[in-house]
Structure 1
Amino acid sequence: MFALIFRIVLRAAFTLFLLTACVFFALHLTGDPARIMLGNSADAVALEAFREQWGLNRPLWEQFLVYLQKFVMLDMGTSYMTGLPVKEVFLSAFGPTMSLMIPTAIVTLLFGIPTGVLAALKRGTRTDRAMMVLSVFGYAVPNFFMGVLLLLVFSIWLGWLPSYGNGSVWHYIMPIVTMATSEAAIFSRYARSAMIDAMRLPCVRAARMRGLPESRVIWLHALPNAMLSILTILGFFIGTLVAGAVITENVFSWPGVGKLLVQSVANRDIPVVQMIVLVTGASLVTANLCMDLLALVVNPRLRKGDN
């Protein structure tokens, strides 16, 4: 058991190291930050002074080792644009993003999983078909189109909701609906398939043969087995939620990490871009690690693979 947990944690740590290396070298190989920041009109003295100030005149491998050393000490460097520590720049945008992602995740799970389970229980009926049509629609419509559509209807035509910012509760409605629509559609379709498979399990058939009420069969036998399958996509849910936030925050001018990322990429503020990408990747790796460990706890069959 402990050897299996150690392998899972070690794999996650190695994945995080590879992510750090790929992000660092990919961003630094896209061009000279000094030339991009100062422009083509800058003279050689100004370029060299910029490189000296930010340690860009060292070999790339040496810069990477310095970056790793600072990374271990949770020092993510300084923003080229503002001159502030990257952590301060990131944390100033992290709060608004989390205030949007947490309610979005709650709405997604509250609507996605129950509708999928209900569709499975009503398989082949009009309810099932209607829910699957809505799921396909929600999954097929891109976030940016959904956001623009909501802005057009509820802000411009009807004037019911504010179109940008995060100053009140009303500002949250359209961004949450925009992000939760596609995510809930994914969970609904996956929960439906998982529940249909769970209803065919021998334990469910045995419970019915013992004469247990259908509600107990569903809640005590079918649904727990279906949730084991749903756990596998919860880790990926974090990544897709962050990706959706990048688009949604720019559509609604939400002052979060997604908007900061777009601005930092446009301004070639490499330290800020590095931290945002690494935090996003680390959150995805951590979420999958937690899901793997949770699966070991709730599914004893997985522990039998530990030799």
Structure 2
Amino acid sequence: MKTLCLRACGRAAVTLALLITCVFLGLHLTGDPATLILGFEATPDDVAAFKLARGLDLPMYAQYWRYLGDLMHLDLGKSYVTGLPAIEVFLSAMGPTLHLMLPTALVTLLIGIPLGIVAALHSGTRLDRGLLFVSVLGFAVPNFFFGLLLILFFSVWLGWLPTYGNASWLHYIMPIMTIATSEAAIFSRMARSAMLEGLNLPCVQAAYMRGISRQRVIWFHAFPNALISLLTVAGFFLGTLTAGAVITENIFSWPGIGRLLVVSVAKRDIPVVQLIVLGVGCSLIVANLLVDLLSLVVNPKLRRTTR
């Protein structure tokens, strides 16, 4: 088990190193931020002073090594637009995003997993086919289109809900519905497949033959085996919540990380964009690492493979 833990941590470290490198190169090879920020009317002296103050006059490899050194010292740079530390800009947008993502995750899990289990327990029936159709529909409709439909129906036609901002609990309803609908559809299908696989395991069939009640077989034999597959999906889902909020936050003008990312990309605010992408990427890496480690605890088969 110790070997598997070290391997998982090693993969996470390599992935993080590749992420840092790709983010840096991808942003610095897309154009000159000085021209966009200062405008085409800026004089060559203004552009040179802008680059000198931010280290953009150095060769690419020198900028990269300087960037790595700053990361080692937890220096994440300053915003090119506001001049504030990038971490302050990031944290100011993190709060609204977390306030939206936490209830969204709760709603997604409370809807998606039970629906998938119900569909699996009624496999082949009209209920199963109906739930499968709803899940496919929820996954197929793009977030931006579904969000606009919600605004049209609940705000324009009925006038019940506000269309933008996060001033009250009413502002949370449509963004949560927009994100949770597609995510719950994924969870329901995964939960259905995992539960069907768990119900067909030999140990579950043997439990039925021993005369154990159906309820105990479902919750104490089939569901724990299905939970192993669901952990992987849950880890990936929790890691991508922030990334999935980009479209939704812009539709509803939510002052979070997703909206900040779009604005920062448009303004070529490289330090802020780097920090947001690294933050989202690190959340994915950490979530998958935790799932790998938790799978070693839940699934004894993984521990036995190394012995």
TM-score normalized by the length of structure 2: 0.98
**Does the 8 A contact of 1:86 with 1:271 survive in 2?**
yes
Q: Which moved more, 1:54-63 or 1:19-28?
A: 54-63
Alpha-carbon distance in 2 for matches of 1:206, 1:91: 53
For structure 2, list consecutive stretches of 5 or more residues without a partner in the other structure.
none
Instruction: Give the partner amino acid of 2:11.
Output: R
Offset at residue 4 of structure 1 (A): 1.7
Q: Distance in 2 between matches of 1:242 and 1:190?
A: 21
Q: Distance in 1 between matches of 2:305 and 2:48?
A: 57
Structure 1: which amino acid aligns with 2:18? L
Kept after mapping to 1: 8 A contact 2:240/2:280: no
Q: Paired residue for 1:219?
A: 219
Determine the C-alpha separation between the residues in 1 that align with 2:247 and 2:276. 15
Q: Which runs of 4+ in 1 moved over 4 A?
A: none
Number of equivalent positions? 307
Q: In structure 1, what is the equivalent of residue 34 of structure 2? A: 34
- Which residue of structure 1 aligns with residue 199 of structure 2? 199
**2:272 matched to which residue of 1?**
272
For residue 69 of structure 1, report the CA deviation from its aligned partner. Answer: 1.4
State the partner residue of 1:152.
152
**2:160 partner amino acid:** W
Q: Specify the alignment match of 2:255 in structure 1.
A: 255
The answer for unaligned runs of 5 or more in structure 1 is: none
The reply on whether 1:235 has 2:235 as its aligned counterpart is yes
Write the distance in 1 (CA, Å) between the matches of 2:73 and 2:53.
Answer: 20
CA distance in 1, matches of 2:161, 2:126: 33
More off after superposition, 126-135 vs 34-43: 34-43
Name the counterpart of 1:48: 48
My pick for the range that moved more, 95-104 or 67-76, is 67-76
AA matched with 1:135: S
Which residue of structure 1 aligns with residue 137 of structure 2? 137
| Residue deviations 1:146-177 (CA, integer Å, cap 9, x gap) | 10000000011000011110000111000000
1:95 alignment partner in structure 2: 95
CA RMSD between the two structures: 0.9
Give the residue type in structure 2 aligned to 1:178.
T
Measured after TM superposition, the shift of residue 239 of structure 1 is: 4.2
Deviation at 1:240, TM superposition (A): 3.6
Q: Aligned equivalents of 1:214 and 1:267: distance in 2? A: 60
Opposite residue 57 of structure 2, the aligned amino acid is: N
Residue 59 (structure 2) aligns with: 59
Quick one: distance in 2 between partners of 1:148 and 1:32?
35
Question: In the alignment, what sits opposite 1:246?
Answer: 246
Task: State the identity as a percent.
Answer: 62
Offset of residue 130 of structure 1: 1.2
User: Any conservation in 2 of the 1:143–1:244 contact (CA below 8 Å)?
Assistant: no
Correspondence for 1:163? 163
Specify the alignment match of 2:118 in structure 1.
118
Does the CA contact (< 8 Å) of 2:93 and 2:256 recur in 1?
yes
Letter of the 2:173 counterpart: I
Q: Is the 8 A contact 1:116 1:188 kept in 2?
A: yes
Counterpart residue type for residue 263 of structure 1: V
* Alpha-carbon contact 2:36-2:268 (below 8 Å) kept: yes
Counterpart AA for 1:306: T
